[in-house]
Structure 1
Amino acid sequence: MAGLPPLRYLRKTTIIVIVVFLAFLVHRVVNSLMENEVVQDVDEAELSLVQSVICRHIVSGSPFGQDSVFEENIRLYFYTAIPNIKDYKDDTLLTVWYRGLDTVQTVPCSLTGDVCFSMIAPSLLQPGEWSVDLVDKQRLLSSRQFRIEPAER
């Protein structure tokens, strides 16, 4: 018989290696099945992410004049679309405007449907690096950076 040798001639180490290898394969199969479920949960969470922009105007409920560089002495809006807005209370959504590391203004978000927006007056905008954060209590929902340049005379 020229096939496999009888099992009694296999060493204990060989049997242990085969058992460990099979356990590893079972682990990988189970792990890959569970990862598929987790990926589906993550995809649903990504769909509910907050989308935000800095713009010059809001026209018919949509942002207009989006950019990341603006001249001083113009009014700017922080426009945010929040798909699951029912999960938040309007009194807990705040927009925090920063110039560099300094907080310039903190205002509650104005809610309209699934959109939250806030405005900063032109008199507060000085040249430099700026950012705006949308926060719900202590949780950051969205952040945008932009720059204000001196107006050309």
Structure 2
Amino acid sequence: MSKLPPLRNLRKTTVLVIAVFLGFLIHWILVANWGRETIRDSAEAELSLAQSVVCSHIVNGSPFGVDSVFEEGMRLYYYSTVSTALQLKDDTLMHIWFNGADTVQKLACDIAQDVCLTTIAPAMLKAGEWSVDLVAGRKLLSTRQFVIEPSNR
């Protein structure tokens, strides 16, 4: 059985190269893991600022009937959760309802329990492509697009 050569026969340069390589490898692993968590945290923070849905009902304070296609003659709600950071700013939060490029209504948000909720009357909903924006001052925080189809009645 052959023995490994004694470590004293290794050259100083080889030991230095191995030490530098291991240091680089450890540094790369640490930076890669730290960067991934930072990206995930910033994405979660951005998502938690404002999230919204268009729905047909509010049940126990939560959206119900979330969809992207609705029939004419329905009452629709735009439900937005808003972080405390956005509430503390001086800008008024608004929901702006659009039918195509036409502004149908602008409503200021009355925030209760981090929720901004507005509704649009069924008589105002005409068939076509719609969208609703949540804005603070001139900054767009969230938008939802949906379609109103003619009623089959």
Q: TM-score with structure 2 length normalisation?
A: 0.72
Corresponding residue of 1:64: 64
Corresponding residue of 1:151: 151
Query: What is the letter of the counterpart of residue 114 of structure 2?
Result: D
- Separation of aligned partners in 2, 1:64 and 1:37: 33
Corresponding residue of 1:113: 113
Corresponding residue of 2:22: none
Q: Secondary structure at the match of 1:110?
A: coil
Corresponding residue of 1:88: 87
Q: How many residue pairs get matched?
A: 148
Q: Secondary structure at the match of 1:74?
A: coil
Query: What is the letter of the counterpart of residue 72 of structure 1?
Result: E
Counterparts in 2 of 1:87 and 1:49: CA distance versus 1, 3 Å: closer
Map 1:114-133 to 2 at 5 A: 114-133=114-133
Does structure 2 conserve the Cα–Cα contact (< 8 Å) formed by 1:134 and 1:142?
A: yes
Query: What is the letter of the counterpart of residue 50 of structure 1?
Result: A
Q: TM-score with structure 1 length normalisation?
A: 0.72
Which runs of at least 4 in structure 1 moved beyond 4 Å after TM superposition?
Answer: 27-34
Cα RMSD (Å): 3.4
Does structure 1 conserve the Cα–Cα contact (< 8 Å) formed by 2:75 and 2:121?
A: yes
Q: Deviations over 1:66-122 (max 9, x none)?
A: 11111111110001122x235325970000000111111111113110111111111
Counterparts in 2 of 1:146 and 1:32: CA distance versus 1, 3 Å: same
Corresponding residue of 2:77: 77
- Separation of aligned partners in 1, 2:114 and 2:38: 27
- Separation of aligned partners in 1, 2:87 and 2:33: 34
Unaligned runs of 5+ in 1: 1-24
- Separation of aligned partners in 1, 2:147 and 2:40: 37
CA-CA distance at 1:31 after TM superposition: 6.7
Map 1:16-95 to 2 at 5 A: 32=32, 35-36=35-36, 38-39=38-39, 41-46=41-46, 48-82=48-82, 84-88=83-87, 92-95=92-95
Does structure 1 conserve the Cα–Cα contact (< 8 Å) formed by 2:132 and 2:144?
A: yes
Corresponding residue of 2:135: 135
Aligned-residue sequence identity (percent) comes to 54
Unaligned runs of 5+ in 2: 1-24
- Separation of aligned partners in 2, 1:142 and 1:47: 10
